[in-house]
Structure 1
Amino acid sequence: MACYNVMTVLTNNRIENVSEMQHVFTKSGCIIKTRLGIHDAGEDFCSNEGLIILHLIGADKEVLELEENLNNIPGVKAKNSQICSD
């Protein structure tokens, strides 16, 4: 049975939070297998809200620490989900 940790991270202040968020991601870099960032962008517009999807590996303690560190940043909401095959 394989289990996967997928964390979603929502920021409503992407431009101001980028430095602190990047520091947290770098600190936990060894457990981040995949990182996908999504935000609305165009020629004349770049949204300050963003969604990041992380595929995580590593111990539950490390995943929980990452989630807590992200949630300690004002304007950031992080939630981990684990899904397992039969």
Structure 2
Amino acid sequence: MSCYNVMTVLTNSRIENVPEMQNVLTKSGCIIKTRLGIHDAGEDFCSNEGLIILQLIGSDKEILELEENLNKIPGVKARNNQVCSD
């Protein structure tokens, strides 16, 4: 049985939160296998709301620590989901 940890991180203050979020993500960089950032952007518009999707490979303790540290940042909501095959 294979299991995957996929964390979603939503921020409603993307521009203001970038330095603190990046610092937390950098400290946990060794457990982040894949990182995808999504926000509405256009020629005349750049949304302040953003979504980051992370595929994580660390221990349960490391993943929980990352989730807790991200959730300490005002305007950020992080949630890990473990998906396993049958």
Which of the five TM-score ranges fits, normalised by the shorter chain?
Answer: over 0.9
RMSD, aligned CA:
0.3
The reply to whether residue 80 of structure 1 matches residue 74 of structure 2 is: no
Partner residue in 1 for 2:6:
6
* Letter of the 2:27 counterpart: K
Aligned runs of 1:62-73 on 2, under 5 Å? 62-73=62-73
Separation of aligned partners in 2, 1:11 and 1:83: 23
Q: How many residues align?
A: 86
Runs of at least 4 residues off by over 6 Å = none
Structure 2, gaps ≥5 residues long: none
Per-residue Cα deviation, 1:43-66 (whole angstroms, up to 9, x for no partner): 000000000000000100000000
Percent of aligned positions with the same letter in both sequences?
86
**What is the TM-score of this pair, normalised by structure 2?**
0.99
- 2:37 is equivalent to residue 37 of structure 1: yes
- The alignment's TM-score, normalised by the length of structure 1, stands at 0.99
